[in-house]
Structure 1
């Protein structure tokens, strides 16, 4: 009996568990506000800005009140500032 799933095996009896269902796409699973929150947080962390107490609330407020285009501009500014701050 093999516990590894291979496409040639049938679900009926060659192993104990069926292969997991595909995870939903993150873009479909998140609200627009949550997606913007993740994008802003990721940009800050990528730029070397560690989250501090209260930052989550502030970033969430920006994500809730700013539209996608504005968040994209803010993320670009963060990326540009991080690039300029790197030693050459």
Structure 2
């Protein structure tokens, strides 16, 4: 059966990292679509930044600010940079 909690970033991330020759550890910042909180957590998991089911634990253990150890959505995400109005 299809995993309803798997996001499209699972395939996209593998393709992007393979094409770029870079690893997840080499990323200076990460920008993830954040329409809902759960979307960010699932996307971090599916993109391989943390284990499946460990997204909340991952974000609680990292500084996600632009000066932090894992800068995430530094442009403000959907609220600060996305679809205004």
TM range (shorter): under 0.3
TM-score, with structure 1 as normaliser = 0.24
Q: As a proportion of its length, which structure holds more helix? A: 1
